[in-house]
Structure 1
Amino acid sequence: MTRDNKAILEKANAAVAEGDNEGFLSFCTDDTEWIFVGDQTLRGKEAVRQYMAKAYLEPPKFMVEHLIAEGEFVTALGKISMKDEAGKMVHYSYCDVWRFRDGKMAGLKAFVIVDPLT
């Protein structure tokens, strides 16, 4: 099961990297909840859809350094770069902890900081 969850997350991330937000959302439960620690919480697929439309003006660029899976959780550590509203590329380091339910992404707890080395 943990291998399946890792593969699901990899497919979902590939969809986002290609600009296919709806493809990504197909891997999420309708009641998915995303918690950006210290920032905001998104509840439900529609809230995530609206967030992605605003935040991903262009597809983000991912560099996943580690995927660690155990039970219903997959943790991804890496870097992500995306343009801000002014069109400037911003680089972040992140740790995403995904919770899966019935083969879909049901929750995210994201720890994201601007990468100070860029």
Structure 2
Amino acid sequence: MTHDPRSVLTAANDAVRRGDHAGFLAHCTDDVVWRFIGDRTNQGKPAIKDYMDKTYVHPPEFDVELMVADDRHVVAIGRITLTDAPGRRTTSDYADVWRLRDGKLAELRAFVVEAEGG
């Protein structure tokens, strides 16, 4: 079965916006890898869930400005604002490069830079 990478990422992002981490992970392979270039790598659903639970205390606000895809990849460029437990907000520009396998998100290479004044 063929899955449109844009549709898969859009559905996964919608879950993140709702704070539904399990819903997001349903769109991922069991061995999913998140590589934050220059920072950290998280591998596997349990590690990703732990990261999301700690980092996305409040659902992030994000705006996908551009999405480009082929049959196995999707690139999303945009801006994300995270709010930590004490209420401090941080806004960053990002470019996420996703590779899909069997219609699911399998690997992320995330380039994230704190926005000026963010």
TM-score per shorter chain, which class? over 0.9
CA distance in 2, matches of 1:115, 1:66: 17
Structure 2 residue runs without a partner (length 5+): none
* Matched residue, 1:30: 30
Kindly state the Cα deviation for residue 84 of structure 1 after the two structures are TM-superposed: 3.0
* Matched residue, 1:7: 7
Normalized against structure 2, the TM-score is what? 0.94
Kindly state the Cα deviation for residue 70 of structure 1 after the two structures are TM-superposed: 1.6
Aligned residue for 1:31, secondary structure, equals strand
* Matched residue, 1:99: 99
For 1:11-22, what aligned pairs fall within 5 Å after superposition? Answer: 11-22=11-22
CA distance in 2, matches of 1:47, 1:64: 24
Aligned residue for 1:10, secondary structure, equals helix
**Residue identity opposite 2:53 in structure 1:** A
For 1:1-118, what aligned pairs fall within 5 Å after superposition? Answer: 4-118=4-118
**Residue identity opposite 1:56 in structure 2:** Y
Report how many aligned residue pairs link the two structures.
117
Kindly state the Cα deviation for residue 12 of structure 1 after the two structures are TM-superposed: 0.4
CA distance in 2, matches of 1:94, 1:63: 10
Aligned residue for 2:58, secondary structure, equals coil
Structure 1 residue runs without a partner (length 5+): none
CA distance in 2, matches of 1:62, 1:11: 14
Normalized against structure 1, the TM-score is what? 0.94
CA distance in 1, matches of 2:85, 2:16: 18
Aligned residue for 1:38, secondary structure, equals coil
Report sequence identity in percent: 45
